[in-house]
Structure 1
Amino acid sequence: MSQDGVDLKTSLGYLLKEASSALRVAMEEVLRPLGMNVTHYSCLELLAQRPGLSNSELARGAFVTRQTMNVLLQALERDGYVTRPAEAPVGKALPTRLTPRGRKSLEKASAAVRSVEVRMLSGMTEAEQADAFRSLQSMIRSLRDARLPG
Structure 2
Amino acid sequence: MTESMPTEPPHRAEDVTQHVGYLLKRAQSALRGAMDKVLREHGLTVPQYATLELLALRPGMSNADLARATFVTRQSGNVVLRGLQDAGLIARPDTADHGRARPARLTEEGHTRLAAVQSAVYAVEQRMVDAIPQDRMAALLADLDHIAAALEE
Same fold (TM over 0.5): yes
Question: Which among 23, 36, 40 is matched to residue 44 of structure 2?
Answer: 36
Superposed counterparts of 1:17-56, under 5 Å: 17-56=25-64
1:129 maps to which residue? 137
Q: Which runs of 4+ in 1 moved over 4 A?
A: 3-6
Q: Take 1:141 and 1:74, find their aligned partners in 2: how far apart are those partners?
A: 31
Give the deviation of 1:125 after TM superposition.
2.1
Larger Rg: 2
Q: Does residue 15 of structure 1 match 2:10?
A: no
Distance 1:124 1:79 in 2: 37
| Cα distance in 1, alignment partners of residues 20 and 67 from structure 2 | 27
Pairing 1:86–2:60 present: no
CA distance in 1, matches of 2:101, 2:129: 39
Identity of aligned residues (%): 43
Consecutive unaligned residues of structure 2, counting only runs of 5 or more, are 1-5, 10-14
Alpha-carbon distance in structure 1 between the residues aligned to 2:39 and 2:21: 27
Displacement after TM superposition at 1:9 (Å)? 2.4
Offset from partner CA, 1:19-50 (integer Å, 9 cap, x none): 01100101111111001110110111111111
1:85-138 alpha-carbon deviations (Å, 9 max, x no partner): 111012111000100100111112221111001111213221122221121122
- The count of corresponding residues between Structure 1 and Structure 2 is 143
- The one-letter code matched in structure 1 to 2:48 is H
Q: CA deviation at 1:5?
A: 6.5
Per the TM alignment, residue 4 of structure 1 is displaced from its structure 2 partner at its CA by 7.5
Normalised to the residue count of structure 1, the TM-score between the two structures is 0.88
State the Cα distance separating 1:143 from its structure 2 match: 2.4
**Residue pairs, 1:70-149, within 5 angstroms:** 70-144=78-152, 147=153
- Specify every segment of 5 or more residues in structure 1 that has no aligned partner in the other structure, as ranges: none
